[in-house]
Chain A
Amino acid sequence: MKRYFTRKVLIYLLTFFIAVTIDWMIPRFMPGDPVLNMLAKAGSVHAEAQEVMYGYLTTAFGLDLPIWQQYFNFWKALFHGDLGVSVLQFPRPVADVIKSAIPYDLLLLIPSIVLSWIAGNKFGAFAARSKKLDNTILPVGYILTATPYMWLGILLGWVFAIILKIFPISGAFSYALKPAFTWTFIKSVLQHWFLPFASLFIVQFGGWAIGMRNMIIYELEADYAHYLEALGAPKRLIRKYAYNNALLPQLSGLALKLGVIVAGAMSTEIVFSYPGIGYLILMAIQNSDYFLLQGCFLFIIIGVLLANFIIDIVFILVDPRTRLGMQGGS
């Protein structure tokens, strides 16, 4: 277990290190001097921005310093939480802008991931029970995973917000309201949350259902299942074992799919103008707010690494093979 853990943490630290290095490198080594471009553009949006930007550039970027010094300064600024200043919401610091978007991302991501994982697994296990059920559910599941997140969002928005007018189409709460701990406000938040949540849930659900169905069929062919069958153990017991064992690869599947899910959430936020990181990214791209973009990149990396770490801990709790350190793998 210790070995497994150290290895994982080491990989995450290394990944973080590489990600930050990429984040530092790209604006410097891309052709056409994007940094100066950005500076010029910032000036056209906010005249006073240029000066502040320039200040950050000389301290954090320090373009006139030797490369290693620049790199070192970048890390130093990072540890002080200094990610630069947003052009878009000048003069707010990038870290601050991102911080206010995070709750919305968590609000979408956590429930959609957890609920779709649970529901998809149950449903997939159910589908694996009969050939007939399997033959209808399998294609539907594959079509769902093939659906681009934003397109499902667009469809749901069109049907439920525009045609049926049941749900609102944009924002995180009604523009008429101010955040407060009142029933009206919470209701508004839930209403605005539902459609983006639903489109995230549905696409992920398809993937988990298929994954579980495939894993269960595999597990039911495992030796322990055949042994129990030969000893006349009830189907219920065999299915229970198969289900429990299939949950483990599904959990590592979750870790692998996190990146795709996050990307899906980003594009869903854009469809519904939901003010999370995804929406920020769109705004940043449209306004050439590169500091904000780089900040979003770092935030996504850190978020995914943390989520991976949480999944690793859960894995240790539920899988004796990992816990006993017999299988170091993935």
Chain B
Amino acid sequence: MSLTVENLTVYYQTLKGVVQALEDATFSLDDGEIMGLAGESGCGKTTLGTSLIQLSGRMRYIKGKLALDGQELPIWDNTAMNDFRYKKVSLIPQYAMSAMNPTRKIGMLTRELIEAKKVDFNQVLPELKRRLELVELPEKVLNMYPIELSGGMKQRMVMVLSTLLNPSLLIADEITSALDVSTQKAVMEMLGEFRDRKYVKSMMIITHDISVLYQIADSIMVMYAGQLSEKAAAETIIREPRHPYTKMLIAALPKIGVRYSEQVLSGIPGKPPLLLDPPAGCRFRERCPAAFGKCLQAPPFKEVQKDHFVACWKEFERHA
């Protein structure tokens, strides 16, 4: 097990009150596993992803235990986390196009970051050059400023930069949304390559685009309104979803391989509840055709078949 998460609960402090963005998340990630994390915008998938590396100013850790490679991951302690960040947990941000300081040469900013992490840059340099070659970037980019690179080149550069110290866990947050379809595919393939070459041990790819995940993800986890709904092998999620929400989500996809956008999602009747004051129990209840009395209690995220987790009372009854 590369990553285990138990009952992770993270809220947002806002002026209007507490937003319950992530409730009791329990799941794990195997060594070498690439997991896709899908759901509508505002479902808490980015909260889950970013909380594993850095709680932003307004995020509040409520409870939960985390372990990475058998070692406790202290996400509630910003200073202690600094030892893990980059070396053990790393991030390819949504904003990869602007993630590099525009006034520093790329080689220089890489050196400064590496040295800030107390690693000898000269020892990393040959590996850096090898990886640049792998993602088809010329070595001379190190002597260039970020603005001299195209969007796709910047994306690849940030991928190399983020994974240079071989982290155990890589979080990739909506990294393909700014790219065209063919570039998306190439980026995803490179990420797979990174895993195969063991540059990263496990990976969490956050996206609202299931078709992108289908290309490389081993497993897919679906979230709804701050709660985990279902996690299973990618193939299983697409072919035999169990959770009513996943079913609707997959049904709303016209065809595998076609991108679904938020508009298509809104084709599902009803709206997700406001997380400022969410109803108790299963949060999908009000939109769920199969809802019944028991749904007033929150269902646990249970393994109903090997490696297939669902949070739905109806499903538990079926497998009881």
**Residues of A at under 8 Å CB distance from B?**
222-224, 226-234, 237, 241, 244-245, 248, 319-321, 324, 326
Interface residue from B53, B98, B102, B112 paired with A230 (Cβ < 8 Å)? B53
In angstroms, how far is the closest chain B Cβ from the Cβ of A326?
Answer: 5
Interface residues on B, range: 20 to 34
CA distance A231 to B83 in the complex (A): 10
- Counting CB contacts under 8 A, is B85 at the interface? yes
Contact A231-B162, Cβ < 8 Å, known A320-B147, A324-B147:
yes
Q: Are A237 and B116 in contact (CB under 8 A)?
A: yes
Known A230-B53, A232-B81, A237-B112; judge A245-B86 contact (CB<8 A).
Answer: no
B2 interface contact, C-beta 8 A: no
Main SS class of interface, A = helix
Q: Is the CB of B85 within 8 A of A230?
A: yes
Residues of A within 8 A of B53 (CB): 230
What chain A residues lie within 8 Å of B81 (beta carbons)? 232
Task: Decide if A324 touches B113 in the complex (CB within 8 Å).
Answer: no
Residues of A within 8 A of B14 (CB): none
A245 pairs with B116, CB closer than 8 A: no
A222 near B54 with CB under 8 A, answer: no
B103 and A233 contacting across the interface, CB-CB below 8 Å: no
Q: Are A231 and B113 in contact (CB under 8 A)?
A: yes
What are the 9 closest A-B residue pairs judged by CB atoms, nearest first? Answer: A232-B85, A232-B82, A231-B86, A223-B98, A227-B99, A223-B95, A320-B145, A224-B101, A230-B54
| In the complex, chain A residues whose CB is within 8 Å of the CB of B145 | 320-321, 324
Q: Which of A227, A229, A320 is the most central at the interface, judged by chain B CB atoms within 10 Å of its CB?
A: A227
Q: Which residues of B contact A224 (CB under 8 A)?
A: 98-102
Q: Could you count the A-B residue pairs with CB atoms below 8 Å apart for me: how many are there?
A: 71
The yes or no answer to B91 lying at the interface (CB within 8 A) is yes
User: Are B113 and A233 closer than 8 Å at their CB atoms?
Assistant: yes
Looking across the interface, which residue of chain B has its beta carbon closest to that of A219? Answer: B101
Majority secondary structure, B binding face: loop
**Residues of the A chain whose Cβ atoms lie less than 8 Å from the Cβ of B102:** 224, 245, 320-321
The complex places the Cα of A319 from the Cα of B103 at a distance, in Å, of 7
9 A–B pairs (Cβ distance < 8 Å), ordered by A = A224-B101, A229-B54, A231-B91, A231-B113, A231-B162, A232-B82, A245-B101, A245-B103, A321-B103
Residues of B within 8 A of A (CB): 50, 53-54, 81-86, 90-91, 93, 95, 98-105, 112-113, 116-117, 145, 147-148, 162
Among A231, A233, A237, A324: residue with most chain B CB under 10 A: A231
Q: How far is the CA of A54 from the CA of B81 in the complex (A)?
A: 83
By a CB distance below 8 angstroms, the chain A residues around B91 are 227, 230-231
Q: Given A231-B113, A241-B104, A324-B148, do A223 and B99 touch, yes or no (CB 8 Å)?
A: yes
Instruction: From the candidates A233, A321, A324, A326, name the one contacting B116 in the complex (CB within 8 A).
Output: A233
Q: Which residue of B lies closest to A318 (CB)?
A: B103
* Docked CA distance A256–B102 (Å): 23
Distance in Å: Cβ of B106 to nearest Cβ of chain A: 11
Contact of A244 among B85, B100, B103, B113 (CB under 8 A): B103
Give Cα A104 to B95, complex, Å: 52
Least CB distance from B107 to A in Å reads: 13
Contact of B103 among A223, A237, A248 (CB under 8 A): A248
A226 and B147 in contact, given A232-B81, A233-B116, A237-B116 (Cβ under 8 angstroms): no
